[in-house]
A and B are shown apart, each in its own frame.
Chain A
Amino acid sequence: GQQLNQSPQSMFIQEGEDVSMNCTSSSIFNTWLWYKQDPGEGPVLLIALYKAGELTSNGRLTAQFGITRKDSFLNISASIPSDVGIYFCAGQSWNTGNQFYFGTGTSLTVIP
């Protein structure tokens, strides 16, 4: 199946810094999702994007659906220790039977 390239693979940042991560695909997607997974838990949906160019915020998190429909971006502003976790992007295309393909994940560590 398809795999989305997510970068960076890991990040170590100071508390209060902003974070940016992105996800790219060789295929066009119709939906992009961003998830966060805490240790020992299943992924939890952060933001859903449904239209090219769409910019959506959820508190300190902002995500964008790329104009080319082949990428998406997630930004976290003023990071705090509880932002620690693994962030996954997921993309869905009508051509793939509505299946969601997941990115390789970005591991975020916030240093107090």
Chain B
Amino acid sequence: SAVISQKPSRDICQRGTSLTIQCQVDSQVTMMFWYRQQPGQSLTLIATANQGSEATYESGFVIDKFPISRPNLTFSTLTVSNMSPEDSSIYLCSVDSGQGYGYTFGSGTRLTVV
């Protein structure tokens, strides 16, 4: 299955600032997925990032708040903009590793907004 490198692994940010999270995959993948995991909660899909087109956002998530870049088939970034304490979560990127491997996840970015 694919190997994903995600950074930063954690950060503490001031409210009103923005943080960009990077996700690097060791193989070319068509779709990359960004998830949010709020404290003690399950995973919620934020958006699907396709190379060469705009990301597709799920209900409740908007591009102005979570802009995504997908410049090539191995890399994506998620920005959490104008942060507030409610944005404190773990953010995870994921790729579809193909049948038999399901979705592979990065180790996540633990964000705390103060």
Task: List 7 A–B pairs whose Cβ atoms lie within 8 Å, in order of A's numbering.
Answer: A31-B102, A33-B103, A42-B106, A45-B102, A88-B42, A100-B102, A102-B43
Is A48 touching B107 in the complex (CB atoms < 8 A)?
Answer: no
List, in ascending order, chain B residues with CB within 8 A of A99's CB: 45, 48
- Chain A residues close to B by CB (< 8 Å): 1, 3, 31, 33, 35, 40-45, 48, 50, 88, 90, 98-100, 102-105
B110 contacts partner chain A, Cβ-Cβ < 8 Å: yes
| A40-B110, A41-B107 given; A105·B42 CB < 8 A | yes
Interface size class on chain B is 20 to 34
Would B110 and A43 count as touching, CB distance under 8 A? no
0/1 string, B88-114, CB within 8 A of A gives 1: 000010101001111111111010000
In the assembly, what is the distance between CA of A107 and CA of B85, in Å? Answer: 25
Q: Which residue, A42, A90, A102, A104, has most C-beta atoms of chain B within 10 A?
A: A42
- Given A1-B45, A3-B42, A40-B110, check contact A50 B99 (CB 8 Å): yes
In the complex, what residues of B have CB within 8 A of residue A48's CB? 99-102
A44 and B94 alpha carbons, distance in the complex (Å): 11
Cα(A104)–Cα(B110), bound, Å = 19
Q: Identify the closest chain B residue to A48 (Cβ).
A: B102
Cβ of B53 under 8 Å from chain A? no
CB pair A1 B106 closer than 8 Å: no
Do A103 and B42 contact each other (CB < 8 Å), given the known contacts A1-B59, A42-B106, A42-B107? yes
- In the bound assembly, the distance between CA atoms of A105 and B43 in angstroms comes to 9
Q: Which A residues are in CB contact (< 8 Å) with B96? A: 98
